[in-house]
Structure 1
Amino acid sequence: MTKLTLEEKQELIRMALKARESAYVPYSDFMVGAALRAEDGRVFTGCNVENAAFTPTSCAERTALFKAVSEGVTKFTDIAVVGSRRGEINQQITSPCGVCRQALFEFGGPELNVIMAKTPDDFMERSMDELLPFGFGPSNVAGNQAVEDEKED
């Protein structure tokens, strides 16, 4: 897996910041954007989409992930995540929630690089393995076709 340059990381963060602007957050007013980079270099963006019932709410990371998977892309190397209250400058790092960590682990595995940013110049990186130690993925499910497909790649 090729590591991103600083400029590539900053561009991924800028894409996440732009995606954040489309967030539908009438209840929390907390806007999140994500930019997910596939192994082939394509980038899929997403924003959080709230729902009055809350359970159907989709986080930005899963929106980007499901958009990519719906287009046939299932292998990823990096994701940038940003979040802040509407109209505010990021004061803290926003990390993927537990559900998003599990969904990202499914397609990015323990090596997925997670860039959590305030700005393109102020960010931290962690591997999915650091964010979800002992993650449960396709290799944990015996006889799973995805495991067999991974072995062929």
Structure 2
Amino acid sequence: MSEQNRAAHRAVPERLERALAMEVSLRSRLRHVAVGLAGGCGAAMIAVLWATEPNALPARTQAAFAGLIAIGLAWAAFAGWVLTLRRPLFARDRVLSAWIALTATVVTALSGVALAAVRGSTADLTATAAGGAVFTAAAMCALVRARHRRHELLQLRDALRQDTP
């Protein structure tokens, strides 16, 4: 084996070790704690607001409250899932969080566009649709990046497995 191949062989475990250390670091865990707290607290606050409102809330308001609670609970459940696992996720958590973000963004954007179409002017509709498109594009970019990162980590893992007898 040439010196260059030996150096490349040593580089794979080192790169994988660095990547996995970032995934299970205290900083990463604290980010997930913050996401879980934000989602759970947001859902709880909206649930309390909904529970203390008069019973005569319009159906669309109740649907909005239910949707926002569901989004908050999704983030809290996601964070709980990540924090309870004791092994590297190989960026699976990033892919899942990007899907949650994309879903929440699309639902929110479509709801806003529907509301603007029914109640707003053409300018309101245009502004809402443009904002929704920008945020949806950003969420889609996050999903593409997350899937790419996961693919990279899996390739590193597979390369390491090939090197191990």
TM-score for both structures, normalised by structure 2:
0.25
Q: Which has the larger radius of gyration?
A: 2
Structure ranking higher in helix proportion: 2
TM-score for both structures, normalised by structure 1:
0.26
Greater relative contact order (CA < 8 Å, ≥ 6 in sequence): 2
